[in-house]
Amino acid sequence: MTAHKTRVLHRSLRETPPLAIGGEGVWLIGKDGSRVLDASGGAAVSCLGHQHPRVLEAMKKQASQLAYAHTAFFSSEPAEALADRLVGHEPGGLAYAYFVSGGSEAIEAAIKIARQYFLEAGQPQRQRFIARRQSYHGNTLGALAAGGNAWRREPYAPLLSAAFSHVTPAFAYHEKRDNESDADFVARLAAELEAEFQRLGPDTVAAFIAEPVVGATAGCVPAPEGYFRAVREICNRHGALVILDEVMCGMGRTGTMHAWEQEGIAPDIQAIAKGLGGGYQPIGAMLASGTIIDTIRAGSGAFQHGHTYLAHPLACAAALAVQEVIREDRLLDRVKERGRQLEQRLTERFGNYRHVGDVRGRGLFWAIELLADRASRTPFDPALKLHQKIKAAAFADGLGCYPGGGTVDGRRGDHVLLAPPYIASADEIDLIVDKLGTAVDSALRSVNQ
Ligand SMILES: Cc1ncc(COP(=O)(O)O)c(C=O)c1O
């Protein structure tokens, strides 16, 4: 794809990305006619691929009827229907949805509603939040303060609230000791979380925040068996809430609608985004339990928050259509089936690969982690920017994937994340792994490995 002159402030100020002018299923089409297989759905967004006819039809219908109405005056049919689809199906479970424009906004809303809930529940001293290192919760200041990625936090550290502290992530590949079983590791993490509650004062903690499967910062890291049950028990015992960030791993990505369904727990508050609207519109949501909302309803009567584009009718209509397609076409079955294929193909290609230490993930959410030395789990020198070289090599060969650096500690480490659309065919999954293999070989050759 060819570059062009720009006045858009792009992510890189040195390179201008090529223009995309079309999409077709798992493919993105450049202005010069080149085609890129979107193996990561951007950043785990495009769960239905591109230009899905039923979603486009629903958007056209809504746009011709009502594109926007401010929520200070009106609700809309798509917002009501989408909330009915998402929440309220289980007693005591998540019962209300607050629709925003993306993941960071959903996290901001989650943090603020947790705080407001405790104010109105007569526990104003609860003002601390415990999150985990190597997590990402968004780039706005509240979400960035919650996140535990050293590199992203560093420039803004003076602006980040001290209400957030961070514990060790459930990242077995790097954090589990050689002599530890999974159960020992979970017990150690639970003890650390308990100690953090004690350090802060257990009745000052409002919530624990975590991604059930860690996405961009560490590359598709599920927790060991029992970890989230242990976390839930500690939070319950101390009267703190559990906020789960499923912005990336939710909405079917791991093979169940919510990633937490595979952990045997449920959150009090949840953030979703990306796969909610599949990229057809910018939309995210904060989901909250009936207990939280009933307490606020009986108190001040309103969540003291808000944005201009809350519950945008067109965004809700697009997300509703995406969720209808996932349900009607039984795409979660497909995520499981293609997910097994992706795991198998990645394991065949990279399981014994000299510079791949780990192949991990769930559903259609998989990553490979690259290492200079597998035996000692030593990452490559970050100055080599290996993950960026893999991205460039893959893109040049018509593969869009989502490599990241800082896998180990926010500075060292390289991984490549894959999050193909749920509609990907078996051949397309094979092609993704073939092309990724070629890109990894070529990037490693370029750094003389
Ligand atoms: C787990 C997680 N939380 C929050 C966010 C922030 O979402 P957004 O970029 O839509 O603001 C992301 C984005 O990548 C994410 O992966």
Give the distance (Å) from ligand 1 centre to CA of residue 33.
30
Residues 6 or more apart in contact with residue 100 via CB below 8 angstroms: 106, 109, 283, 284, 285, 286, 307, 309, 310
Ligand 1 atom 16: residue of nearest CA: 248
265 lines ligand 1 (CB under 6 A): no
107 lines ligand 1 (CB under 6 A): yes
Give the distance (Å) from ligand 1 centre to CA of residue 396.
26
- Torsion sign (Cα): 37, 354, 389, 11: positive
Q: Do residues 90 and 267 touch, judged by C-beta distance below 8 A?
A: no
Q: Do residues 354 and 442 touch, judged by C-beta distance below 8 A?
A: no
CB burial string 118-136: b at 16+ within 10 A, e below:
bbbbeeeebbbbbbbbbbb
Q: Model pTM?
A: 0.98
Q: Do residues 240 and 232 touch, judged by C-beta distance below 8 A?
A: no
CA distance 78 to 236: 35
Ligand 1 atom 8: residue of nearest CA: 103
Give the distance (Å) from ligand 1 centre to CA of residue 249.
10
Give the distance (Å) from ligand 1 centre to CA of residue 139.
8
CA distance 449 to 445: 5
Query: For each of the chain's 449 residues, which pLDDT tens digit applies?
Result: 455 679 999 999 999 999 999 999 999 999 999 999 999 999 999 999 999 999 999 999 999 999 999 999 999 999 999 999 999 988 779 999 999 999 999 999 999 999 999 999 999 999 999 999 999 999 999 999 999 999 999 999 999 999 999 999 999 999 999 999 999 999 999 999 999 999 999 999 999 999 999 999 999 999 999 999 999 999 999 999 999 999 999 999 999 999 999 999 999 999 999 999 999 999 999 999 999 999 999 999 999 999 999 999 999 999 999 999 999 999 999 999 999 999 999 999 999 999 999 999 999 999 999 999 999 999 999 999 999 999 999 999 999 999 999 999 999 999 999 999 999 999 999 999 999 999 999 999 999 87
Q: Report how far apart, in Å, the C-alpha atoms of 123 and of each of 131, 201, 265 are.
A: 20, 13, 24
Q: Which of 141, 248, 254, 269 to mutate to test the pocket of ligand 1 (most atoms within 8 A of CB)?
A: 248
Residues 6 or more apart in contact with residue 179 via CB below 8 angstroms: none
Q: Among the atoms of ligand 1, which is closest to the Cα of residue 101?
A: 10
Give the distance (Å) from ligand 1 centre to CA of residue 319.
17
CA distance 323 to 334: 14
DSSP string, 325-382: HHHHTTHHHHHHHHHHHHHHHHHHHHTT-TTEEEEEEETTEEEEEE-SBTTTTBPPPG
Tracing tokens 């169940």 back to the chain, one arrives at 256
Q: Among the atoms of ligand 1, which is closest to the Cα of residue 284?
A: 10
43 lines ligand 1 (CB under 6 A): yes
133 lines ligand 1 (CB under 6 A): no
Ligand 1 atom 12: residue of nearest CA: 138
